[in-house]
Amino acid sequence: MPFVYVVRCANGALYTGWAMDVLRRVKAHNAGRGARYTRIHGPVELLYCEAQPSRSAAMKRELAIKRYSRARKLALCQPSPIPPGSTRPVERGAARAARPKPRRAGR
């Protein structure tokens, strides 16, 4: 199964890639056998990993993440505040829209 991953380089830069075996790929980056950028700016630290259904999907997701701003990439790498298996909280706007509007007298 292919994965998309984000690593932090020694200079603080974020590098996004895809691999079939993420841990092996990170070891390759740290051994100087990965991408040219990580060879120069290594060692790297794995921040984020996401499974994809196919190689094509992984490549498309990689490009999408590469287009993110640094702030959005860092937000993506943060652990979710919602534990796995729990229900998703209702967003403020959605909760307000779901309530029926009160009727005014005289109509």
Written as six digits, the tokens of 27 are 């070891």
* Amino acid present at 63: L
Q: Measured on CA atoms in the order 31, 36, 39, 43, is the torsion positive or negative?
A: negative
- Report whether pLDDT(3) > 60: yes
42: confidence class by pLDDT, cuts 50, 70, 90: confident
Question: What percent of the chain clears pLDDT 90, i.e. is strictly above it?
Answer: 64
User: pTM of the full predicted structure?
Assistant: 0.72
Indicate the fold that domain 3-80 takes in CATH.
GIY-YIG endonuclease (3.40.1440)
45: confidence class by pLDDT, cuts 50, 70, 90: very high
104: confidence class by pLDDT, cuts 50, 70, 90: confident
Main-chain dihedrals φ then ψ at residue 50, nearest 5 degrees: -140, 125
